[in-house]
Amino acid sequence: MLIGYGEDSHRLAAGRRFVLGGIEVAAERGPLAHSDGDALLHAVTDALLSALALGDIGALFPDDAAENRARPSVDFLNRALAEVRGRGYAPDQLRAVVTLDQPKLGPYRQAIQENLARLLNLEPQRVGLTFKTSEGLAPDHVQVRTVIVLQET
Ligand code: C5P
Ligand code: MG
C-alpha cells in the first residue's frame, strides 16, 4: 500500500468558470489559472504522483507551456494515473477537503463524488469529500487538500 498527499489552491476572479472535480459549479467567480483551474483534480494529480515520489504536476505539465493553456485538468489526472498503473499500482481510496467560502458545495457533493470515482475507477463510497468554509479568513481562494491510498495491482 502507498499513500499520496496533494494540495492545490487558486485565487478566485470574476468572469471565470468554476470547475471542481470535473463538475461545473454555478458561481460569480472562478479560479484564476493557466489551465482550467480545477483545484481538486490538480490536488488529486499531485497526490497520485507523491505516492510514488514522482515529483509534481509542474514537472509533467509546465504552467508556462502554451499547450497547457486552458487544458482540461482531466488530462493531468489521466497522465498521473498512467504513471501509477505503469508501476503496478491503482487507486484504492480517496479523501479530500475543499475549503471555500462561496458558493456552497453541498448540492454538488454527489456529482463530484461520482465523477472522481469514475475517473479513478473506484466505488463512490471510497471517495470521501469534506467541504469547509475558511470562516471568512480566505474569501478569495479555493483550497484543496487530499489523501489517496494506492494498492498494488
Ligand atoms: O466551514 P464550516 O464547518 O462552517 O462549514 C459548515 C458546513 O457548510 C459544512 O457542513 C459544509 O459541508 C458546508 N459547506 C459547503 N460548501 C462550502 C463550504 C462549506 O457546503 N463551500
Ligand atoms: Mg491548480
Picking from 44, 37, 41, 40, the residue whose alpha carbon sits closest to that of residue 6 is 44
Mean pLDDT computed over every residue of the chain: 95
Share of the chain above pLDDT 70, in %: 99
Q: How confident is the model at residue 141 (pLDDT cuts 50, 70, 90)?
A: very high
Residue 19: beta bridge partners? 24
Q: What is the pLDDT of residue 62?
A: 77
Give the closest residue (by CA) to ligand 1 atom 10: 131
Instruction: Compute the average pLDDT of residues 45-53.
Output: 98
Q: What is the pLDDT of residue 100?
A: 98
Q: Which atom of ligand 1 is nearest to the CA of 133?
A: 1
- pTM assigned to the model: 0.95
Instruction: Compute the average pLDDT of residues 91-110.
Output: 98
User: Does residue 86 line the site of ligand 1, with CB under 6 A?
Assistant: no
